[in-house]
Amino acid sequence: MAAATEHALEAAEAACTLRGARLTELRREVLRLVLEAGQPVGAYALLDRLRAGRAGAAPPTVYRALDFLLEQGLIHKVERLNAFIACADAHDHAPHAGHGHAHPHQFFICGRCGDAAEIADASIAAAIAEAARRIGFRPRGATVEVEGLCAACAEAG
């Protein structure tokens, strides 16, 4: 599946260029590591892997790169795991001119195999927006993370 990673990297490159953001060597490398993980991955796990090619890497090195990738909507943070994962459809959501909130999304996290499936369900988003409206709350961003068993694991055991 290295091909998928390469494709995603090229798409990220293109998206950044469109917005005038600089996907530097370091940021590109961190994005590659997140893509290759394929699952939510912690900042320090990324740091360890990053050090394979970059001797002096330290926490700020990886956190700054992650902040950039979050800004660009190329990755998401999984709050329940304090971990990061590549956006499943970074190439789809419109390249806003400015910086950004990530697009609305939800995660279904398997407690057995560790997979995190990203979806963008309009009716969940609508229900949240409606509830917010009802209490006069002005939403700026939402975290929706469901823990449980994925289809494969539920069947297996």
3-state class (DSSP) for residue 85: strand
Binding-site member from 25, 53, 98, 138 for its own copies (CB under 8 A): 138
| Residues in contact with DNA, shown as a per-residue x/- string from 81 to 110 under the rule CB under 7 A | -xx---------------------------
Using alpha carbons only, what angle is made at residue 68 by residues 67 and 69, rounded to the nearest 5 degrees? 95
Whole-angstrom distance, CA of residue 78 vs CA of residue 133 = 26
Residue 113 assigned as binding residue: yes
From the list Zn ion, DNA, its own copies, none, pick the one residue 147 interacts with, judged by a Cβ distance below 5 to 8 Å according to partner type.
its own copies
Contact 69, 61 (CB under 8 A): no
Binding-site member from 53, 60, 136, 157 for DNA (CB under 7 A): 60
DSSP at 63 = H
Residues making contact with DNA (CB under 7 A):
21-22, 24-27, 42-45, 54-61, 63-65, 68, 82-83
